[in-house]
């Protein structure tokens, strides 16, 4: 299921070397996700995990402002932990066409920890066929919670074959056919349930009593991840959520945000058996697809600019690779605006801010580097909370990046900007102006992209018409030749 992997590798950009066979993707964008799926078994007993510890709002108006105004200068990172509360912020409800889902029982501010829970059943990656053993060792209560989860058997996993090949000893004559069939059916149920409900959990995969009730949206309002520091799966609100709103995460983590609708439909149907009807998928104007294509292109282009392209490929041949640092900075800023415009507010947004900050630092634009790093830290805290010691240890988190910028500033003989100062009116006006400019630039890019797309379509049409005309002409010639042959049979040949 959707994954950013462990927290410690969330900051890697598009992985140009890895390939997965489960996820049909554009060649340049690879997904590390494992996709899996299912169907509702026992709605009544579902979703009430004792492990859940909801927590109250931690969202400050500072983070709210920066969410609405992603490149605004008036941001102050706060890093305050969400105060824990006993109140459960969601309930499990049935929803037409989706089975069960989680719904907000009160308004949930951005950055709130909604779920924090331990895995129900955990296995190594690529070991679905071995899920039966760990399942059998579950306590009765956990087995009941697992059995209540949705079941789906993705055709490409061939669960029956996997069960018969892996788990049955063909020489065991003590088992009659009925026993074997029953065991196979049980194993299929366990594998299918695991496949459709699992999330990345450290280096393995795990199913959770509550998180596994989250339905998918390509414009998610929550972010899920496994936090190795606390050993729990956490789910945070990435924007303010209204009471009664369904909580949705994305099953297409990482680069999946850059897939266009057709790609997403293929993956979600194949692995989870449903067709997504979220706002992005319902957008028939092609606007969302256009933006996601451009965003994916920019993200990859920036990665190539910063780290180099694939072996043997001239970087400048790759679309969207910026020609110079100034262009790279503009593109990174555009990417931030487009992600926010598209409602993609989690880790890919962190990465875009990091890229903007890195390019700015290379250009010795220290204040901008600092500002974008602070925005990154804000989004990071919103999605992952504040217990991020593992990120600090690995040096991957935003705070470590901010520290690097601070060192660079000191080396350059400049004082680090004050971080706690909230913006005044003029700052807000400046930020609004800047954002307007950005949006105009983004719209221009999208327009250009749409124009190029329509030109490509026209060219395709013309080519198809030419081909049709050619076939028609050949047919006509053939018809005339046959007519002539019929009239003058003696001259045939």
Ligand X SMILES: C[S@@+](CC[C@H](N)C(=O)[O-])C[C@H]1O[C@@H](n2cnc3c(N)ncnc32)[C@H](O)[C@@H]1O
Binding site for ligand X (CB under 6 A): 37-38, 40, 97-101, 149-150, 152, 196-197, 212-213, 215-216, 272-274, 276
CB of 230 to ligand X, least distance (A): 22
Contacts of 61 (CB under 8 A, 6+ apart): none
Q: Please, which residue, 39 or 330, has the CB nearer to ligand X?
A: 39
Three-class SS of residue 124?
Answer: strand
Residue identified by tokens 């340049």 is: 28
The three-class DSSP label of residue 392 is helix
Our CB check for ligand X shows the closer of 57 and 217 to be 217
Choose between 250 and 399: whose C-beta lies nearer to ligand X. Answer: 250
Among residues 99, 92, 8, the alpha carbon closest in space to that of 52 is found at 92
> C-beta of 148: minimal distance to ligand X in Å?
8
What's the min distance (Å) between Cβ of 223 and ligand X?
16
- Identify the DSSP state of 63: H
Closer residue to ligand X, CB minimum distance, 67 or 214: 214
Separation between Cα atoms, residue 147 and residue 45, nearest integer Å: 10
Contact between residue 156 and residue 22 where contact means Cβ atoms under 8 Å apart: yes
Say if CB 443 and CB 334 are below 8 A apart: no
Cβ-proximal residue to ligand X, closest one: 99
CB of 259 to ligand X, least distance (A): 15
Minimum gap (Å) between residue 274 Cβ and ligand X: 4
Is the CB of 52 or the CB of 365 nearer to ligand X? 52
Residue-wise over 155-177: b if at least 16 C-beta within 10 A, else e? eebebeebbbeebeeeeeeeeee
DSSP character at residue 211: G
CB of 225 to ligand X, least distance (A): 16
Q: Given the complex with ligand X, which of 304 and 344 has the nearer CB atom? A: 344
- Kindly tell me which of 100 and 190 has the beta carbon lying closer to ligand X: 100
Q: How far is the CB of 251 from ligand X (least distance, A)?
A: 7
Q: How far is the CB of 286 from ligand X (least distance, A)?
A: 21
On whether the CB atoms of residues 251 and 35 are closer than 8 A, the answer is yes
Q: Are 366 and 395 in contact (CB under 8 A)?
A: no
Q: Provide the 3-class DSSP secondary structure of residue 246.
A: strand
Closer CB to ligand X, residue 215 or residue 303? Answer: 215
Q: What are phi and psi of 225, to 5 degrees?
A: -165, 160
Please give the radius of gyration of the chain, using alpha carbons only, rounded to the nearest integer: 27
Sheet bearing 99-104, strands edge to edge: 90-95, 99-104, 246-249, 215-216
Shortest spacing between CB 152 and ligand X, in angstroms? 5
When the beta carbons of 274 and 353 are compared against ligand X, the nearer one is 274
d(CA 44, CA 81): 34
Tokens of 269: 């149907």
* Phi, psi at 412, each rounded to 5°: -80, 5
Nearest distance from C-beta of residue 15 to ligand X, angstroms: 25
Q: Which is nearer to ligand X, 36 or 116 (CB)?
A: 36
């Amino acid at each position: 299921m959707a994954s950013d992997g462990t927290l410690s590798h969330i900051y890697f950009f598009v992985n140009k070397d890895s390939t997965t066979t489960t996820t049909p993707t554009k060649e340049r964008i690879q997904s590390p996700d494992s996709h899996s799926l299912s169907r509702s078994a026992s709605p009544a007993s579902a979703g009430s995990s004792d492990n859940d510890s909801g927590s109250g709002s931690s969202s400050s108006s500072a983070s709210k402002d920066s969410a609405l105004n992603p490149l605004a200068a008036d941001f102050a990172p706060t890093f305050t932990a969400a105060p824990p509360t006993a109140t459960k912020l969601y309930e499990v409800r049935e929803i037409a066409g989706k089975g069960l889902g989680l719904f907000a029982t009160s308004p949930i501010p951005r950055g709130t920890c909604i779920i924090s829970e331990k895995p129900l059943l955990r296995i190594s990656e690529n070991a679905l066929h071995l899920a039966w053993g760990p399942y059998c060792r579950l306590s009765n209560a956990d087995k009941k919670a697992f059995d209540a989860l949705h079941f789906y058997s993705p055709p490409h996993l061939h669960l029956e074959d996997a069960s018969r090949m892996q788990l049955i000893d063909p020489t065991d004559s003590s088992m009659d056919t009925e026993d074997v069939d029953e065991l196979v059916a049980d194993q299929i149920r366990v594998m299918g349930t695991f496949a459709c409900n699992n999330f990345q959990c450290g280096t393995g995969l795990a199913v959770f009593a509550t998180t596994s009730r989250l339905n998918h949206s390509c414009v998610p309002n929550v972010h899920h991840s496994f936090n190795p520091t606390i050993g729990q799966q956490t789910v945070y609100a990435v924007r303010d959520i209204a009471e009664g709103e369904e909580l949705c995460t994305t099953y297409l983590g990482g680069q999946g945000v850059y897939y266009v609708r057709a790609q997403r439909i293929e993956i979600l149907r194949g692995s989870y058996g449903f067709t997504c009807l979220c706002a992005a998928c319902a957008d028939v104007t092609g606007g969302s697809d256009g933006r996601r294509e451009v965003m994916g292109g920019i993200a990859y282009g920036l990665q190539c600019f910063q780290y180099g392209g694939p072996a043997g490929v001239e970087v400048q041949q790759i679309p969207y690779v910026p020609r110079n640092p100034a262009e790279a900075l503009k593109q990174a800023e555009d990417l931030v605006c487009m992600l926010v415009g598209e409602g993609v507010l989690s880790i890919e947004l962190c990465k875009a801010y990091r890229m903007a900050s890195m390019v700015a630092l290379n250009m010795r634009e220290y204040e901008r580097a600092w500002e974008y790093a602070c925005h990154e830290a804000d989004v990071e805290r919103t999605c992952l909370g504040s217990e991020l010691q593992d990120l600090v240890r690995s040096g991957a988190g935003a705070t470590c990046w901010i520290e690097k910028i601070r060192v660079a500033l000191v080396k350059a003989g400049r004082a680090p900007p004050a971080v706690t100062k909230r913006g005044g009116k003029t700052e807000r006006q400046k930020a609004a102006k800047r954002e307007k400019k950005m949006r105009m630039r983004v719209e221009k890019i999208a327009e250009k992209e749409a124009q190029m797309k329509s030109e490509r379509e026209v060219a395709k049409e013309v080519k198809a018409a030419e081909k049709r005309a050619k076939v028609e002409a050949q047919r006509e010639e053939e018809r005339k030749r046959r007519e002539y042959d019929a009239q003058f049979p003696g001259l045939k040949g």
